[in-house]
Amino acid sequence: MSPVSSINPAVSAIAASLVTAKAPLRIGLIGFGCVGQGLYDILQHLPGFGAEVRRIAVKNPAKPRSLPAEAFSFRADELLQDPELDVLVEVIDDAAEAFRLVSTALRQGRQVVTANKAMVARHLPELVALQHEFGGTLLYEAAVCGSIPVVRTLDAYFGQEPLRSVSGIFNGSSNYVLTRMGQDGSEYAVALAEAQQQGFAETDPSLDMAAFDPRSKLVILAAHAYGVLLEPEQVLNLGIENVSATDISYAAVAGQKIKVVAGLYLLPNHQLSVLVTPQFVDPTSALYTVDDEFNGVVIEAEFAGPQFLRGRGAGGHPTGSAVLSDIAALRNQQRYAYPKLTTATPLAYTTDLEIEIYLRTDDELILDQLGFTDITEEADEDGYIVGYVPLDALLQHRDRLRKAGAFVARTGHVRPATHSVDALALTESE
């Protein structure tokens, strides 16, 4: 007898009555782009889920859409003023407008879901305070790593356990570009155009390619994983907008790939280092086989050991599924606990490190400004150098590096800025 047929019919009937007794959640959807349409389509395929989109607000009345014009409102505030909506789902691109809408809803004590990582990263302390003051709930699983349930995993499952690191590939768009360059030998511009055509990169790709997007995600995860509240500008973010075939070939000769790796690293002195840059990874890394638009997250826990989560990080359905999970959580009255924000011994954020990097540039002044030491490789013909530089120097000169067309990648080796003999044996292993 199968497990399903062996269930007591009376128990099945009670369970069914409990499900059907709940009235469907009435959703107000603000935004009908990639994620909004993905969520709408998912709900159409799940009539038994117990939620329905009652109202949709969009900005541009003239834009062609997959639903008739009468299905839309053109003022998002109308949804905020509608008391019959149980959940507001915000999935627009404008971070400032998203904050206005979400903060207003929280002041009303509403239940809100957002996918706007830039907004959450910029305003997280205030958003947490608004929930405490007015009793509303904000969930944002879709803001970090698409379909991977990393926020709730860190907040709930690892809410008490110390974590050695949380790192990974947090941006599907840049990962897709690097995959195409590595597999097909495509030039950066060609690979980027393909990513845009596939819907994995925006028309203005700078947020993804310059690593502003994964930086926002790191700021969010820092609060859940370590109880540290950061400003986005505190975090080093270097991207792949200047990557070339020379860099891809350099990695391939060593049997490695270039991945944009975002990381939170707990140091032995109870301090936290946070950064996102390209990095060379080899086949021993769990991230080595994370290709195309996929994301991967490695959690190094003190007692549980390493955990690896992998899933699609871009696209309407994968990100819409994360929104769906938040709606289900709200229906079950779940909210983030932020357990590590109240810890008795808060961590300090530090940039007091030296990082071994590969730098390709023809700007000799940058080499002097970064303060290279312990140089292990230098190739004048290809214009690259490998050695240690202070993390503070990279933070200070990151804009200059971008403008100069320089490309930077971590090797994975890190040491304290003091050069002490009892240095961190800290190799950033994913």
pLDDT in tens, 407-420: 999 999 999 886 44
In this structure, is the dihedral angle defined by the CA atoms of residues 377, 383, 384 and 388, taken in order, positive or negative? positive
Report pLDDT for 426: 46
Q: How confident is the model at residue 406 (pLDDT cuts 50, 70, 90)?
A: very high
Tell me what the pLDDT averaged over the chain comes to.
90
Is the pLDDT at 36 greater than 90? The verdict is: yes
CATH 3.40.50.1970 assigned to 160-311+346-427: no
Report pLDDT for 202: 73
Is the pLDDT at 28 greater than 70? The verdict is: yes
Most confident residue range from 61-70, 108-117, 370-379 = 108-117
Report pLDDT for 418: 63
* Spatial separation of the C-alpha atoms in residues 257 and 61, rounded to whole Å: 45
Is the pLDDT at 344 greater than 70? The verdict is: no
What residue type is 12 in one-letter code?
S
Report pLDDT for 219: 98
Active site residue 63: no
Which residue, among 177, 247, 252, has the nearest Cα to 211 in the 3D structure?
177
First to last CA, the chain: 44
Most confident residue range from 204-208, 312-316, 329-333, 340-344 = 329-333
pLDDT in tens, 294-327: 999 999 999 999 999 999 988 889 999 999 999 9
pLDDT in tens, 200-253: 777 678 899 999 999 999 999 999 999 999 999 999 999 999 999 999 999 999
Is the pLDDT at 10 greater than 50? The verdict is: no
- The CA-atom distances, in angstroms, between 220 and each of 56, 151, 420 are 27, 8, 32
* Spatial separation of the C-alpha atoms in residues 167 and 259, rounded to whole Å: 12
Determine the number of helices (DSSP H) and then strands (DSSP E) in the chain. 14, 18
Catalytic residue among 22, 59, 117, 217: 217
What is the value of pTM for the model shown? 0.90
For the chain, the domains span 9-139, 160-311+346-427
Averaged over 67-88, what is the pLDDT? 94
The H or E element spanning position 305 is strand 305-312
* Spatial separation of the C-alpha atoms in residues 237 and 171, rounded to whole Å: 12
* Phi, psi of 58, rounded to the nearest 5 degrees: -130, 165
Report pLDDT for 427: 44
Higher pLDDT, 180 or 270: 180
As assigned by CATH, the class of the 9-139 domain is: alpha beta
* Spatial separation of the C-alpha atoms in residues 351 and 273, rounded to whole Å: 6
Report pLDDT for 19: 47
Q: Are 119 and 212 in contact (CB under 8 A)?
A: no
Q: Residue 276 corresponds to which tokens in the numbers above?
A: 């996102």
The H or E element spanning position 327 is helix 316-331
